[in-house]
Structure formats: C-alpha cells, structure tokens
C-alpha cells in the first residue's frame, strides 16, 4: 500500500532528526573517457574514507546515514555533533589525502568540490531516508558558481579541495567557536546555481589556496594593506610592475575589484588577477568597472 503524501500545514507532526550533510563532486568528471568513470566513481568514497580515518572520525565513517554514490561524487548524513571535526581537521586532511594521491597517480587527478550543511531529514532505515530540502540545498551548494569558480582558478598542483559551508553551519559551528576552523579562513559568497531558483549566503573555505589565488586578490585585509603600503611599490604616476594584484593594479572585466571579503558569487575569467564578479562584501575599498589603479598619497584612483 502506498503511503499517503502529507498535506502541508494540515497538522503538526514530529520534526525529523537533524543530520549533518557532507557531499563531494569531482571536478571535470564528465570530461574523463567513459572507461575511467567506473574506477574513479569507486575511488572517491575510498579517498574520503581514508581522510575520515586519518582525521579520527571513525564514528562518522562507520555510521553514515543514507550514503549514496552520485557517480561523480558521494553524499551522506552524520550525527551533527561531529560537524566541528568535519570542518576541522577533516577538510584539511581530505586535501592532504588527495594531494598525496595526485602526486603519485598515473591516472586522472582527483580534485573535489565539497559542501557541508545541516538540517532535519528522515533517518529511520527506510529507502527514502535523507530526502528533503536540506539534502537538495547541499547539492545546490555543491553546484554553486563560487565553489566551481575557485576550484577552476586554483592551481591543480596545490589546491585539491574547495569547500562551501552553509550559513547555518557557519553561524552555529564556526562563529560559535566549536571548531578549530577560524572565521578568517572563510570567505562570504552568494551561492547561486545557473538555471535554478537557488541563492543562499554561504562561506568558502580553501584548505590549500594556491599562490595565484592569493595574487589574484584572495588575501587577508591586513596583508593587502601591507602590500599597498610597501615602500618598494610603484609611485603615484607609475604603472604596476606585474599583472597580478599586489595592491597596485587589478583589471576587472565586469563587476568589482576583489579587496577583502567576497560577499557575492564570482567566476574566474583568465589569468591570476582577473575575476568576474556579482555582489561583493568589502572590508574596505570601492566598487569599480574597468581598471583600478591604487597609488600612494595623492595617487590616481
């Protein structure tokens, strides 16, 4: 007998248990030859389990809720009490495990986008467990523009994981100081998905940002200020010596120069110093369209 579909707002009912959610997708999976799809699909959960073991999260590995292999990745639920440890040290350990694998493999490199979320989901051992809005949002975060853009922009030699953390997890776990992941290790973004009616405030965390990301503007505000104030920088009427953003010159094809925290979705559009941006949250500075020149006192802007 088919179970009746609940009618929304007709009556009160028990809230499903809260579950942490973790999902990963492999970058460029569909671009692999078909013969490699099966082996890579089986490899991803093995690498994730290795990282869970190395991070000391044996309980999470052995008690996954509604685990699923999505072909180019995996998703599973877990006791939300472990969320602080999934953020730190697990994300960093996962980056290290993938880096070690990528340095010795003769096959395709495995680079992952990851998302971390939390919410009420059915988890009673039934076949439909894990289905609900939090599960959908976890996958939307994984497919959002900012996390795809930053992993595409980063060097494959050094950056193996780019993670997007939901605002709910960030507020409860990161700002609550329950995790070793400091808020300064996260960048605020607007996570939107092309073609989907989805846009959420979220937070990017890159365990091993490559140098071109740092040169392109993903720098802590203090370091940016030091770069701008360096006595060796160009004078008010001198051009920047390098196309990489070092507090002097940054070319923006559209949107805003990246200075401080990013509060909107963005995509990388070539070179280490160019980003195409939507809305951004700035620690300081101004929004521009075109070239932005920053000089010393009395310099041109």
**Where along the chain do its domains lie?**
18-209, 213-301
Q: Quick one: pLDDT band at residue 1, thresholds 50, 70, 90? A: low
Cβ atoms within 10 Å of 12's Cβ, excluding its own: 6
Task: Give the residue carrying structure tokens 């008690």.
Answer: 63
**Residue 73 to residue 51: CA distance in whole angstroms:** 15
Distance CA 62, CA 79 (A): 11
Tell me 2's DSSP state. Answer: P
Q: DSSP code of 82?
A: G
Distance CA 282, CA 221 (A): 10
Superfamily holding 18-209 = Nucleotide cyclase, GGDEF domain (3.30.70.1230)
Among residues of the chain, what percentage have pLDDT more than 70? 70
Pick the closest to residue 153 from 240, 211, 106 (CA basis): 211
pTM: 0.72
In the structure, what pLDDT confidence band is assigned to residue 5 with cuts at 50, 70 and 90? confident
pLDDT at residue 299 in the model: 44
The pLDDT confidence band at residue 53, using thresholds 50, 70 and 90, is very high
| pLDDT score of 280 | 40
Token code pair at residue 130: 């894990």
Q: What does pLDDT average to over the chain?
A: 80
Minimum mean pLDDT range among 60-74, 143-157, 230-244: 230-244
CA angle 283, 207, 83 (to 5 degrees): 95
Predicted local distance difference test score (pLDDT) of residue 272: 41
Q: How many CB atoms lie within 10 A of CB 14?
A: 6
Name which of 85, 70, 83 is nearest 23 in CA terms: 70
Asked whether 180 and 93 are in contact (CB, 8 A), the reply is no
pLDDT tens per residue, range 15-30: 999 999 999 999 999 9
Please name every residue paired with 78 in a beta bridge, in sequence order, or none if there are none: 20
Across 56-197, the runs of DSSP E, i.e. the strands, are 65-69, 73-78, 112-120, 161-166, 187-192
* Rounded CA separation 7/4 (Å): 9
pLDDT at residue 293 is higher than 90: no
pLDDT at residue 128 in the model: 85
18-26 and 73-78 as β-strands: parallel, antiparallel, unpaired?
antiparallel
Whether residue 186 has pLDDT greater than 90: yes
The 10s digit of each residue's pLDDT in 221-279 is 333 333 344 444 444 444 444 333 333 434 444 344 444 444 444 444 444 443 343 44
pLDDT at 125: 86
Listing DSSP states for 222-277 in one string gives HHHHHHHH-TTS--TTSPPSSSS-SSSEEEESBS----S---S-EEE-SSSS-EEE
Range from 4-8, 64-68, 229-233, 286-290 that averages highest in pLDDT = 64-68
What would the two tokens of residue 162 be? 């780019």
């Amino acid at each position: 007998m088919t179970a009746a579909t609940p009618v929304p707002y007709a009556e009160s009912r028990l809230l499903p248990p809260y579950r942490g959610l973790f999902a990963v997708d492999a970058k460029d999976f569909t671009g692999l030859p078909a013969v490699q799809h099966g082996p890579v699909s089986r490899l991803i959960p093995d690498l994730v389990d290795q990282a869970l073991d190395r991070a000391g999260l044996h309980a999470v590995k052995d008690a996954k809720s509604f685990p699923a292999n999505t072909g180019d990745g995996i998703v599973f639920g877990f006791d939300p009490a472990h969320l602080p440890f999934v953020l730190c040290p697990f994300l960093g350990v996962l980056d290290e495990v993938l880096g070690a694998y990528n340095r010795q493999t003769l096959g395709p490199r495995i680079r992952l986008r990851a998302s971390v979320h939390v919410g009420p989901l059915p988890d009673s051992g039934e076949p439909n467990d894990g289905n609900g809005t939090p599960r959908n949002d976890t996958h939307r975060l994984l497919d959002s523009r900012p996390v795809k853009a930053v992993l595409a922009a980063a060097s494959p030699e050094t950056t193996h994981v780019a993670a997007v953390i939901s605002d709910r997890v960030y507020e409860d776990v990161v700002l609550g100081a329950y995790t070793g992941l400091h808020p300064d290790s996260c960048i605020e973004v607007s996570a939107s998905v092309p073609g989907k009616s989805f846009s959420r405030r979220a937070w990017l965390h890159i365990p091993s940002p490559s140098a071109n990301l740092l040169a392109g503007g993903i720098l802590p505000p203090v370091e940016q200020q030091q770069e701008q104030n360096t006595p060796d920088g160009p004078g008010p009427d001198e051009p920047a010596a390098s196309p990489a953003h070092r507090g002097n010159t940054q070319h923006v094809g559209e949107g805003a120069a990246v200075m401080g925290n990013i509060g909107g979705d963005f995509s990388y559009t070539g070179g280490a110093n160019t980003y195409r941006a939507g809305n951004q949250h700035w620690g300081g500075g101004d929004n521009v369209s075109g070239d932005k020149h920053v000089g010393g006192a009395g310099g041109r802007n």
